[in-house]
């Protein structure tokens, strides 16, 4: 945990029922006492479902977004929330900052948290990308043939060749 004292603020729209802290913890009020809520870690980021006053509807909030909004201020246009240590489950305000998509991507590379084939959406392995780059640079195969051989869209091959994707391989 942080060396900073824990500060609690009400969650907008749920002020009477939920608070979130600068340490990234969520609490609900039951029977007049603050109870720390367990967070959902099955999603890409920590989240929680908040129940409405009538208990009939619920809304999912992402902890990092709520902490940033309450403790860093409104998110500037064209900015995302960065996790400075690369740990998306560390939602302490001292670990969050607004930044550009480019800065966030640079963070991912710096922390090794966006390794290509570990991305989850990657269609190719690092080995395949090296083969694509070699075959293209040797002039033996064009992008259309490579896209058919590796069973990916031609745009994916062109992005690799031009260095937009997998540039560090």
In this model, does residue 157 exceed pLDDT 60? yes
Q: Yes or no: is domain 8-66 CATH 3.90.75.20?
A: yes
Distance from the first to the final alpha carbon of the chain: 36
pLDDT, residue 51, reads 84
Greater model confidence, 130 or 140: 130
CB 67 within 8 A of CB 91: yes
Greater model confidence, 21 or 114: 21
- CATH 3.90.75.20 domain locations along the chain: 8-66, 73-116
Mean pLDDT, the chain, integer: 86
Q: Which of 110, 112, 123 is nearest to 156 (CA)?
A: 123
pLDDT, residue 120, reads 55
pLDDT, residue 83, reads 93
pLDDT, residue 118, reads 53
pLDDT, residue 64, reads 96
Q: Which of 85, 64, 89, 84 is nearest to 75 (CA)?
A: 64
In this model, does residue 37 exceed pLDDT 60? yes
The model's pLDDT over 75-126, given as tens digits with 9 standing for 90+, comes to 999 999 999 998 888 999 999 999 998 898 888 778 776 655 555 566 788 8
pLDDT, residue 166, reads 81
pLDDT range class, residue 2, cuts 50, 70, 90 = low
Spell out the residues 6+ positions from residue 12 whose beta carbon is closer than 8 angstroms to its own. 69, 70
Averaged pLDDT for residues 127-150: 87
Q: Could you tell me the fold of the domain covering 73-116?
A: Homing Intron 3 (I-Ppo) Encoded Endonuclease; Chain A (3.90.75)
In this model, does residue 74 exceed pLDDT 90? yes
C-alpha dihedral sign at 97, 102, 105, 107: negative
């Amino acid at each position: 945990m942080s060396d900073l004292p824990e500060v609690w603020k009400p969650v907008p729209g749920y002020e009477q029922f939920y608070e979130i802290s600068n340490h990234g913890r969520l609490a609900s009020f039951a029977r007049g006492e603050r109870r720390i809520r367990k967070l959902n870690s099955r999603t890409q980021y920590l989240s929680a479902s908040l129940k409405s006053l009538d208990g009939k509807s619920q809304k999912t909030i992402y902890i990092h977004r709520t902490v940033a909004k309450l403790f860093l201020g409104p998110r500037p246009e064209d900015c995302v929330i960065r996790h400075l240590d690369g740990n998306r489950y560390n939602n302490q305000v001292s670990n969050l900052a607004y930044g550009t998509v480019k800065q966030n991507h640079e963070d991912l590379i710096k922390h090794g948290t966006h390794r290509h084939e570990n991305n989850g959406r990657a269609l190719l392995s690092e080995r395949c990308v090296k083969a694509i780059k070699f075959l293209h640079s040797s002039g033996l195969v064009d992008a259309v043939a490579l896209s058919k051989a590796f069973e990916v869209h031609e745009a994916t091959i062109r992005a690799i060749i031009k260095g937009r994707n997998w540039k560090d391989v």
